[in-house]
Amino acid sequence: MPSATSVRRAWIGMIVRAPDAVQGLGFLIVFLLTFLSNAIVPIR
């Protein structure tokens, strides 16, 4: 059974045809999640 992450990535790959665009979109999502989470600054 495929995981939710692989299904989402396959869906994005079907919508965005260029591999560079898929990579850029994935980088943007991970970049934003890094700054929206508390991964850099610990919670007090």
Predicted TM-score (pTM) of the model is 0.53
Domain assignment of residue 19, given as a range: 4-36
At residue 22, the pLDDT reads 82
At residue 13, the pLDDT reads 81
43 in a structural domain: no
32 in a structural domain: yes
Plot region of 32 (φ>0 → left; ψ -120 to 50 → alpha; else → beta): alpha
27 in a structural domain: yes
Rounded Cα gap, residues 20 and 29, in angstroms: 14
User: What's the total number of domains in the chain?
Assistant: 1
23 in a structural domain: yes
| pLDDT one-digit tens code per residue, 1-44 | 678 778 887 888 888 878 888 888 888 888 888 777 766 676 67
18 in a structural domain: yes
At residue 40, the pLDDT reads 66
41 in a structural domain: no
